[in-house]
Amino acid sequence: MIIKLQEHFFKDNYIITLFVIFIKRCAMKIQLSLFIIILNISIVFFCSSQEENFTVEIIEGVRYVYNNVPQWRDKPKVAFEFVQKIGGLDATDENFILYRPNDVEVDGEGNIYILDTGDYRVQKYDKQGKYLLTIGRQGLGPGEFARPTSIQVYKDYHLYVVDNGKGKTIELDQNGKEIRNIWSDAHNIFKVLVLQSDEFLVEYPGVYKTEIGSESRNLTETLLKIVDNDFNLLREFCTPLKFEDYNVDRQMNIIFYTFDKDDNIYVSFYHQNRIEKYTSEGKLVWKADRKLSYKQSKPGKSEEKREEGPIAGETIVTIRMDTMNKFSYNIAVDGKGRSWVHTFTKQAEGKIRNEDYIPAETMLEIYDPEGILLGRLPFPNVRNISTYRIFGDRMFFIDREEEMAVYEYRIIEK
């Protein structure tokens, strides 16, 4: 409006009129330039806000994924649908009374196997939870268990039971008949995974090398091993984090591991912000972390106190270490190749049983097959979740502390 008044006032002055027109065009160009600048800033801001979710670095062919914000934000694209509960304190049938259930498996027909550790047996149910069969009992003979710790259904029909008390893995048929014993010559195995290649994935022959009768104790260079049927080492992988202290190293490198239908192996760390995926050959595919409200602990040196025990020649060792933050407690893979990690979102504060004690908070984190954090999901309404397993879209939560039950849920895509 001001420019128009100026044009009208100086219409008889040709030079001034041209000047006014020039100014007018410059103003239009300036407006256009400002528009372009604002548009570019908006595009950059929008793109950067999208990239803030995660960043990826490729180092020597390995993807390093740094997750900041879940892709789904606060709107998870999956949910749980309750299917059934097996066991529980209200059970009256002997075949449904479980004492410290420790593991669960599913075969090709959908039948459910529950390792009832406290009763030294495996309970078999059909897909609807109808009791079918009891496998094993307490003892050291054939068909008996001393201290069973984990189970696995292999290629839909054979059952492997890791018996830590016997120091061996037992292979049985689907009716519970013992086929063979696989000796490991050690009593430090709690979990064995049989890959599709017929090879065994274990932490054996132990995470830590020790020399009997001496103080030489060193962390091995790898945490996971793949062995043959006779437990001969084939290959090893997964590098530990070292603090040059045996007890600290041992605690900091507690791991949870699983594998998918293609024998890819997934590892999460109890005291490290670290999740990894490997091929069956032990090649690292990606390593991921995520942004949390606390930092990784950096404990100092441990202190050992040795005292004579009540029995002659017995030594009691007391170990004291700094408190370490907890990151993950379990990991499992669903039918779509997504990793489900039991993650600590808040650390506990204070001492247990004190009035000022604040318990830790945890959630389920879901990662895509490339290590990108998709979302976080609260646990279903189960009293005390000890661990969980996934088979396709069937998810089983085990409560071995309070309710003594196994809960089955279905993963629903929204």
Which residues does residue 329 pair with via DSSP β-bridges, in sequence order? none
CATH number of 67-413: 2.120.10.30
Half-sphere exposure of 122 (CA within 13 A, CB side): 33
Structure confidence at residue 250 (pLDDT):
85
pLDDT of the residue at 10: 37
Mean residue pLDDT across the chain: 85
How far apart are the C-alpha atoms of 161 and 194, rounded to whole Å?
11
Query: What residues pair up with 227 in beta bridges, in sequence order?
Result: 200, 233
For 46-98, the pLDDT digits (tens) are 444 444 899 999 999 999 999 999 999 989 999 999 999 999 999 999 999 99
The pLDDT score that the predictor gives to residue 12 is 44
Tell whether the model's pLDDT for residue 21 goes beyond 90.
no
- The domain segmentation of the chain, as residue ranges, is 2-43, 67-413
Indicate whether 356 pLDDT > 50: yes
Residue 110 has pLDDT above 60, yes or no: yes
pLDDT at 215 over 80: no
pLDDT tier at 183 (50, 70, 90 boundaries)?
confident
Radius of gyration (C-alpha) of the chain in whole angstroms: 30
**DSSP character string of 1-68:** -HHHHHHHHTTT-HHHHHHHHHHHHHHHHHHHHHHHHHHHHHHHHHHHHHHTTEEEEEETTEEEEEE-
Question: Averaged over 356-364, what is the pLDDT?
Answer: 92
Lowest mean pLDDT among 100-114, 147-161, 193-207, 339-353: 193-207
395 pLDDT tier (thresholds 50, 70, 90): very high
Q: What is the mean pLDDT of residues 163-192?
A: 83
More confident residue, 79 or 35: 79
Q: Is residue 9 very low, low, confident or very high in pLDDT (cuts 50, 70, 90)?
A: very low
Look at 27-31, 120-124, 193-197, 240-244 and tell me which has the smallest mean pLDDT: 27-31
Question: Which amino acid, one-letter code, is at 382?
Answer: V
Q: How far is CA 152 from each of CA 158, 162, 169, 247, 404, rounded to the nearest angstrom?
A: 8, 9, 11, 31, 20
* pLDDT score, position 100: 95
pLDDT tens by residue, 286-306: 999 999 999 888 888 888 888
Q: Residue 378, preceding bond cis, omega within 30 degrees?
A: no
pLDDT more than 90, % of the chain: 57
* Residue 209 pLDDT: 46
Confidence of residue 341 (pLDDT cuts 50, 70, 90): very high
